[in-house]
């Protein structure tokens, strides 16, 4: 009895955890655990339900596929359900899969096809008489989101099939984000002050959930087709016949695929795939093994969730050993010192890694990382290199602990550590590294938006002494810029025009661009709305600052200290003298506006930049806050909404999607 009770309790816990992870993965595209960790939880639930069948239920996540369709898209019912595959990380279990289907179909040769498992977003496209009728996500396996307009922005997706097409042809595939494009997208998001995507799959999923196809069109998306759903007027006996058909119709498919008729040939194929997969445009996390014959597939059938004739083999995240030769310090905009590992270059997941961040002093101590150590490197999601461990058993005694410096390596000034924080900071506001980062931040898209003033240009300007602080940007002219490398007449003209345009940006952008510690976009907007002038903000008392929503004691103190530092007041005076006159945006409040006296929190990715959405709210009498509390009136949730959405549900705050928000705006 006790064993039954314990098992029942564990089953319920696992179901709750898996449902929550499903929600994060499918609906928010923001997973909090790795695929391997999820698979372990899932397998534990499968094992318990088999051992204790009295606790099995149709509502279990082991009986269902995917996540709920999003409300803001139209819905499409799949003509043939989109099922998911069983998976394994074990070659032994892969061999057992093949032995099992051999037992189910005795005395027969059973050819299988092995192809790359693309780490993307599963979709289904339906062509009627050769013309694309719709594209849909997997959704819950039966019903998915209508993403036709977004999919049509992908260049490799034909609106019409080549040649003579069947009456009905439903193709299944994976939409992915190209690996190089993903890196560029994240670099652009960093420059704009936006959160980075965790991996290419998340970036692809977030892109497809955009309500505005013009945004999707800017994303480097591709697609690979791997199977069929419903079809009429098409004679296919084997899956291996499918690839030439895709070629004939002009539909993209896997670069490589293999056939096998034994367990040894299957494992040989997945080893060969592992050697070549890093050269593909897209990220792969495994191989899919499918029975080739459709007649044999029909005889093998399905479980409630997966076909018995296919399995996904997942590769372990690639880990390699290398030597940690040194630890360098990188100095950020606010003076934070970040340790960076200098490694013997090593090939990981298809690219050479020579450096990896070590985050902070506490991370160094927790992992006991020392100069000279043999360390284990892994690429998280095959993109971001990380030091995940140390081979302490290989130590010779010559390894050295790395002490965080007491002086800044860039300028020699002393550094301090706030007892309440992990960060170690350089106290010299004129530190060259901080100057470079501050200028880059000031010119970024989320701040003063000075196009052409990126990292390379800023590095040259600071190195030559042409720019020592942000006010010097407005003293640049064609003569000074022409002395720099790789600057032509056209690029100089464009940069000077961008600098001139920045002089009249909205006040909140200037406040944010100044880089005041703890002051983000939301706080900057609130400060601009309250004070309506930079001088009013500069002269505010700590008490007055703390009465403003989203400011509080810590932020208020930081703002007061910033503007009472003589150097910063001199900087403001130089900006004013240079002609920087931020635009003041008075609040226009309609008496019947549904936004009057409301407080909003914006989270996730929307079809417009967040600052523009916030302007819509504040101009109608509402306030925009950076955090959810019981005083919040609405949470506007876009794609990739995470913890703020959870808090809204916890506090009972009304959550609105973008469609409902637009209806409120129209009122």
CA 357, 359, 360, 364 dihedral sign is negative
Residue entry with tokens 């002093």: 361
For the purposes of burial, counting CB atoms within 10 Å of the CB of 588, is it exposed (0-12), middle (13-18) or buried (19 or more)?
Answer: exposed
- In this structure, what DSSP letter does residue 355 have? E
Phi/psi zone of residue 166: left (φ > 0), alpha (ψ -120 to 50 degrees), beta?
A: beta
Q: How far is CA 456 from CA 401, 437, 462, in A?
A: 33, 11, 10
Q: Cα(344)–Cα(354) distance, rounded to whole angstroms?
A: 6
Question: Under a CB-based contact definition with an 8 Å cutoff, are residues 605 and 209 in contact?
Answer: yes
Residue 185: phi, psi to the nearest 5? -60, -45
Task: Map residue 303 onto helix, strand or coil.
Answer: coil
Please, which residues have CB within 8 angstroms of residue 42's CB and are 6 or more apart in sequence? 18, 61, 62
Residue entry with tokens 């959550």: 655
Considering just the CA atoms, what is the radius of gyration of the chain in Å? 29
Enter the tokens of residue 642: 């995470």
CA 596, 599, 602, 603 dihedral sign is negative
Q: How many CB atoms lie within 10 A of CB 7?
A: 16
Packed helices 432-443 and 455-463: angle between N→C axes, nearest 10 degrees: 140
CB-side neighbour CA atoms (13 Å) of 141: 13
Let me know the angle formed at the C-alpha of 245 by 241 and 246, rounded to the nearest 5 degrees: 120
Q: Cα(163)–Cα(232) distance, rounded to whole angstroms?
A: 16
Identify whether 117 is a catalytic site residue: yes
Q: Cα(544)–Cα(582) distance, rounded to whole angstroms?
A: 22
CA 404, 406, 407, 408 dihedral sign is positive
Let me know the angle formed at the C-alpha of 464 by 461 and 469, rounded to the nearest 5 degrees: 50
Question: Under a CB-based contact definition with an 8 Å cutoff, are residues 124 and 147 in contact?
Answer: no
**From 102, 117, 162, 275, the catalytic residue:** 117
Q: Cα(180)–Cα(451) distance, rounded to whole angstroms?
A: 22
Q: 105, 239, 226, 250: which is closest to 176 by C-alpha? A: 226
Catalytic residues: 117
């Amino acid at each position: 009895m006790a064993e039954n009770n314990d098992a029942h309790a564990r089953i319920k816990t696992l179901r709750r955890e898996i449902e929550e992870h499903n929600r994060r993965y499918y609906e928010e595209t923001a997973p909090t655990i790795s695929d391997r960790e999820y698979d372990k939880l899932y397998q534990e639930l499968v094992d318990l339900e088999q051992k204790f069948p009295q606790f099995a239920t149709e509502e279990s996540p082991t009986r269902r596929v995917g996540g709920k369709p999003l409300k803001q898209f139209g819905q499409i019912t799949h003509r043939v359900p989109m099922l998911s595959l069983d998976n394994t990380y074990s070659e032994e279990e892969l061999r057992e899969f093949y032995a099992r289907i051999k037992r189910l179909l005795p005395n027969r040769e059973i050819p299988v096809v092995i192809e790359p498992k693309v780490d993307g977003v599963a979709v289904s496209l339906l062509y009627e008489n050769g013309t694309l009728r719709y594209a849909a996500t997997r959704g819950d396996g039966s019903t998915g989101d209508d993403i036709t307009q977004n999919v049509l922005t992908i260049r490799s997706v034909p609106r019409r099939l080549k040649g003579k097409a069947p009456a009905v042809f439903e193709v299944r595939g994976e939409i992915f984000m190209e690996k190089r494009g993903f890196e560029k997208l994240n670099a652009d998001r960093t420059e704009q002050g936006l959160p980075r995507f965790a991996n290419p799959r998340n970036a692809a999923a977030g892109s497809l959930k955009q309500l505005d196809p013009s945004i999707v069109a800017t994303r480097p998306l591709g697609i690979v087709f791997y199977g069929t759903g419903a079809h009429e007027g098409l004679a296919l006996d084997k899956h291996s016949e499918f690839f030439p058909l895709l070629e004939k119709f002009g539909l993209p498919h896997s670069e490589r695929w293999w056939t096998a008729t034994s367990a040894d040939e299957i494992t040989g194929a997945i080893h060969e795939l592992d050697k070549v997969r890093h050269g593909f445009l897209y990220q792969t996390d495994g191989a899919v093994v499918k029975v080739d014959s459709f007649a044999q597939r029909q005889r093998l059938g399905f479980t409630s969730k997966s076909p018995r004739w296919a399995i996904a083999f997942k590769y372990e995240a690639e880990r390699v050993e290398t030597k940690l030769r040194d630890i360098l310090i990188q100095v950020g905009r606010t003076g934070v010192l970040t340790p960076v590992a200098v490694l013997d270059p090593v090939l990981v997941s298809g690219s050479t890694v020579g450096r990896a961040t070590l985050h902070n002093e506490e991370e160094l101590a927790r992992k006991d990382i020392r100069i000279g150590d043999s360390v284990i490197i892994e690429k998280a999601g095959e993109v971001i290199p990380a030091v995940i461990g140390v081979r302490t058993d290989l130590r010779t005694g010559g390894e050295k602990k790395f002490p965080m410096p007491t002086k800044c390596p860039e300028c020699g000034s002393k550094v301090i550590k706030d007892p309440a924080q992990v960060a170690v900071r350089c106290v010299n506001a004129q530190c060259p590294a901080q100057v470079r980062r501050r200028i880059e931040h000031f010119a970024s898209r989320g701040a003063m938006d000075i196009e052409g003033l990126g990292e390379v240009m800023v590095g040259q300007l600071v190195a030559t002494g042409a720019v020592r602080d942000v006010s010097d940007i407005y003293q640049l002219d064609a003569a000074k810029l022409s002395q720099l490398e790789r600057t032509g007449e056209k690029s100089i003209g464009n940069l000077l025009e961008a600098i001139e345009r920045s002089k009249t940006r909205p006040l909140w952008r200037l406040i944010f661009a100044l880089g005041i510690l703890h002051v983000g976009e939301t706080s900057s907007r609130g400060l601009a709305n309250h004070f309506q002038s930079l001088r009013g903000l500069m002269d505010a008392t700590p008490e007055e600052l703390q009465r403003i929503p989203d400011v509080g004691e810590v932020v208020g103190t930081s703002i007061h200290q910033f503007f009472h530092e003589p150097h910063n007041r001199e900087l403001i005076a130089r900006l004013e003298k240079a002609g920087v006159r931020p635009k003041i945006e008075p609040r226009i409040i309609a008496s019947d506006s549904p936004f009057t006296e409301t407080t909003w929190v914006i989270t996730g990715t929307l079809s417009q930049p967040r600052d523009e959405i916030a302007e819509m709210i504040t101009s109608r009498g509402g306030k925009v806050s950076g955090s959810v509390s019981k005083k919040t009136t609405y949470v506007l949730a876009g794609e990739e909404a995470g913890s703020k959405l959870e808090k809204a549900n916890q506090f009972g705050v009304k959550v609105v999607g973008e469609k409902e928000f637009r209806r409120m705006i129209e009122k």
